Structure 1
């Protein structure tokens, strides 16, 4: 039986091979994204709620609304295919859900190959208001998404029967082996294999055991890890976990590991450290990227650009124009200013009052030495807003902060900066303006998928009294950047939070480590 094929706007969608294509270009999507697109195509011009999407795509598996948001965001990126001028295929209907706005035409794979004469189209309305329906060929019928699901369910039940049968046979064999091992006094050796996700990447940092001066470059290496994490999570289909301050060595399900460490080659003196960057595919232990950089004050920027370019190549993940524009903001900054920026960035991650005060002082120096370094200017204001939320400023300090806010509000392209909306979110939380804070954090999440955004989202849900959604946000933040720093932010950022009350699962997970 021929599989249904659907044309959505300019794209031809072939679910049997998880592909979308147009004008000779073919893209392979994850099965859940194909299912999501086909479900939208089965309900053209209908507003679909998140619950309805979860019911029909995830079959009520335990997923949060943020998973739906992220999946739709990924699907939108694939349909745009790097063309920022392309119209939105899926629009958001506030407080109701999502709607597919592109025209939909159904067909079978056979009819799609033979030509447009056998298309199965939706009814069209004539100018006189009458409905014209194209004749349906005998060999094709309009596909039903739910019927397809039922067929899959039947196949799954058959497969489940054979799975259980094989399981019982295996269990019997295992019992026999245990009995034999007891008789022979040779205990069986069992091995477990971890199911790896090829689209997940762990970023790890290892200290320079063989180097004497690695600590002075630690903040730069950790800053690179944070930049790589937020960039890939925002602009690619990979899910990256920044474990640069996470020392737990439990088995990971990530398919790839990017390790940044400082090493010393024997024919160099001990104080000459090289930064090694190694990307390994955990499925077969193959090395995808192996580079070493000699770090000096003059090479910081060139190393950063080369590393991001190399990752883009080995992951076959071209950077979109918006990310390239953001990375271009680093090019005009002085190399020393970039080092100070990453030192301040690490202090911000620590989150305590003393660290934030030091970060503010460092960023103040950067702002004076490199006034064209927009990211540093925004970070400076973010730090000061955080400091004000923890310890109320006096009148001169508050005046200076308001001047900073007014200054950056005039910067060109400020509406494309996630940091700007983070600043507005913290401001709103400090003033008790929850609705405004919620609007701003959602804009920030649309621009950047980062641990800080989800910490702030959790704070907003707490103030709304919705601890369940707050827990979802906190766990997402910890998943993106696990470690003591993120935990400190969850407990103390903006206002104090009881992990035991707001996110008991996270407390239980940490207690088991």
Structure 2
């Protein structure tokens, strides 16, 4: 029936397919149409397991070519529903070796606008019959009256009314015909070639396209600050960071990072452009030289959150910044190490800088954990005949430190990841998983998904592992994360995943 509005209610969530949005406690979450179609299908078929091929056929009529599109869509739906809701799996559960199902009680609500009712009684001419049945009038959807007026309507009125409608229609056609016949041909509009501009509906609101200059990329400290800012930004909203490729064209948000030197001081310039509105919401420079790094990081994060209309208290921002060392020198070294780690051929520099930071701030969980994770990754990336002994020695040095943190301080997500890595290096996947489950949904990093994938692989759940690897690639925005994943703890053949994703990136499917 036309004009029906269908919505689904799951716990406190409201899903409106026609508007491509979720509502939770009066807060709206807009999703793209492909996610809406998939979740709509799940809502129509709750508690039923569907394979990826079945979802491709049922939701997309087989028009997409790879099941990785399904994996991405499931990941993005879960991220929204888990981050803001209470269900641990975002209602969409992976059934090993079979597929996915919606694990929820779904209530379908259909709203249909009622007919327009007029309560004005009909005026009858003298002599008209008043003997008409109520059932006949109810069948006439163009002439609805109150119960009282129905008793005074005559059957002879219906043909009369249709005659009036026909006369009116004929009159209208004659007037329109006369109008166009009388207008001179020179007044007809000319055909004009118009410039096609992208509709705002073609933009993806969750994508942030990051643009940077060459001078910026050559400054690892500024790259590290930008990376940390993006990680923090994703903590509070389901954003996907795009650096290149076809997805960059549809990103609704654009962030530009520029390196500037003025009067002997180094500045990081950040611009935020909303492509939908065409407005620039942020254009500011932050001094980072001579002890201003922590201050620049905190102020730029506050400005970014305000620009993206994310209402976060200042105390929460301070809590994130305070996970870094109090020492300005240690913080600068840690962030520069982070920037170098994302650049090719700078892994030795990254390792040296984080070791230096850990010596300056030996009581800081972030630098100690990061140094351990960098060192352990380096051992597996460059294996030797003495690899096992190197791993044991590294664990022997850091084990007591981790235990000290666990007994004296609240554990940060970075330390929990490091403890999970140590457990996996000792071939203890259950303990590794125990540490990971304590990490909040909104603080899950690339390493979280890599570790989850290796744990799934070690327990024989290949389908779940593939899903986690795909999540890691989405978070990193590059397939290169598989290089570490293939050799970490034990060798994994991930060539099939790499080939699928590489082909998807080439044809613009992702």
Give TM-score, length-normalised by structure 2.
0.62
Q: Distance between the aligned counterparts of 1:263 and 1:55, measured in 2? A: 52
Task: Tell which deviates more after alignment, 191-200 or 309-318.
Answer: 191-200
Question: Residue 169 of structure 1 corresponds to which residue in structure 2?
Answer: none
Q: Does 1:315 align with 2:312?
A: no
How far the C-alpha of 1:262 sits from its partner, in A, is 1.3
Question: Residue 234 of structure 2 corresponds to which residue in structure 1?
Answer: 233
Q: Distance between the aligned counterparts of 2:70 and 2:436, measured in 1? A: 17
How far the C-alpha of 1:309 sits from its partner, in A, is 1.5
Question: Residue 378 of structure 1 corresponds to which residue in structure 2?
Answer: 369
Question: Residue 255 of structure 2 corresponds to which residue in structure 1?
Answer: 258
Question: Residue 279 of structure 1 corresponds to which residue in structure 2?
Answer: 272
Matched ranges for 1:316-335 at <5 A: 316-319=309-312, 324=317, 326-330=319-323, 333-335=326-328
Question: In 2 relative to 1, CA 22–440 (structure 1 residues): closer, same or farther, beyond 3 Å?
Answer: closer
Q: Does 1:301 align with 2:294?
A: yes
Q: Is the 8 A contact 1:344 1:363 kept in 2?
A: no
Question: Residue 289 of structure 1 corresponds to which residue in structure 2?
Answer: 282
Q: Does 1:408 align with 2:402?
A: no
Q: Distance between the aligned counterparts of 2:277 and 2:368, measured in 1? A: 44
Question: In 2 relative to 1, CA 486–92 (structure 1 residues): closer, same or farther, beyond 3 Å?
Answer: closer
Q: Distance between the aligned counterparts of 2:40 and 2:313, measured in 1? A: 26
How far the C-alpha of 1:292 sits from its partner, in A, is 0.9
Q: Distance between the aligned counterparts of 1:467 and 1:418, measured in 2? A: 25
How far the C-alpha of 1:231 sits from its partner, in A, is 2.9
- From 187, 191, 204, give the equivalent of 2:211: 204
Question: Residue 224 of structure 2 corresponds to which residue in structure 1?
Answer: 223
* Deviation readout 1:246-284 (Å, 9 max, x if unpaired): 8x99964423221211124xxx54x33322111223457
How far the C-alpha of 1:11 sits from its partner, in A, is 5.1
Q: Distance between the aligned counterparts of 2:394 and 2:224, measured in 1? A: 29
Q: Distance between the aligned counterparts of 1:250 and 1:90, measured in 2? A: 25
Q: Does 1:71 align with 2:77?
A: yes
Question: Residue 358 of structure 1 corresponds to which residue in structure 2?
Answer: 352
Q: Distance between the aligned counterparts of 1:438 and 1:65, measured in 2? A: 22
Question: In 2 relative to 1, CA 236–55 (structure 1 residues): closer, same or farther, beyond 3 Å?
Answer: farther
- From 483, 488, 499, give the equivalent of 1:504: 499
Task: Tell which deviates more after alignment, 441-450 or 232-241.
Answer: 441-450
* Deviation readout 1:346-399 (Å, 9 max, x if unpaired): 35446987446414522322323xx3x432232233234435545432876542
Q: Is the 8 A contact 2:258 2:269 kept in 1?
A: yes
Question: Residue 426 of structure 1 corresponds to which residue in structure 2?
Answer: 421
Q: Distance between the aligned counterparts of 1:330 and 1:201, measured in 2? A: 25
Q: Is the 8 A contact 2:227 2:339 kept in 1?
A: no
Count of residues in correspondence between the two structures:
407
Q: Distance between the aligned counterparts of 2:89 and 2:314, measured in 1? A: 20
* Deviation readout 1:134-182 (Å, 9 max, x if unpaired): xxxxxxxxxxxxxxxxxxxxxxxxxxxxxxxxxxxxxxxxxxxxxxxxx
Q: Is the 8 A contact 1:201 1:240 kept in 2?
A: yes
Question: Residue 127 of structure 2 corresponds to which residue in structure 1?
Answer: none
Task: Tell which deviates more after alignment, 495-504 or 290-299.
Answer: 495-504
Task: Tell which deviates more after alignment, 355-364 or 343-352.
Answer: 343-352
Q: Distance between the aligned counterparts of 1:347 and 1:401, measured in 2? A: 23
- From 337, 340, 344, give the equivalent of 2:333: 340
Question: In 2 relative to 1, CA 197–207 (structure 1 residues): closer, same or farther, beyond 3 Å?
Answer: same
- From 108, 111, 121, give the equivalent of 2:111: 108
Matched ranges for 1:11-26 at <5 A: 13-18=15-20, 25-26=26-27
RMSD between aligned residues: 4.8
* Deviation readout 1:201-229 (Å, 9 max, x if unpaired): 122332448xxxx96xx233212222233
Question: In 2 relative to 1, CA 100–481 (structure 1 residues): closer, same or farther, beyond 3 Å?
Answer: closer
* Deviation readout 1:93-140 (Å, 9 max, x if unpaired): 6747665556847352559xxxxxxxxxxxxxxxxxxxxxxxxxxxxx
Unpaired runs of 5+ residues, structure 2, are 115-194
Matched ranges for 1:397-476 at <5 A: 397-410=394-407, 412-414=409-411, 417-433=412-428, 446-456=441-451
How far the C-alpha of 1:232 sits from its partner, in A, is 3.4
How far the C-alpha of 1:410 sits from its partner, in A, is 3.1
Q: Does 1:481 align with 2:482?
A: no
Question: In 2 relative to 1, CA 474–358 (structure 1 residues): closer, same or farther, beyond 3 Å?
Answer: same
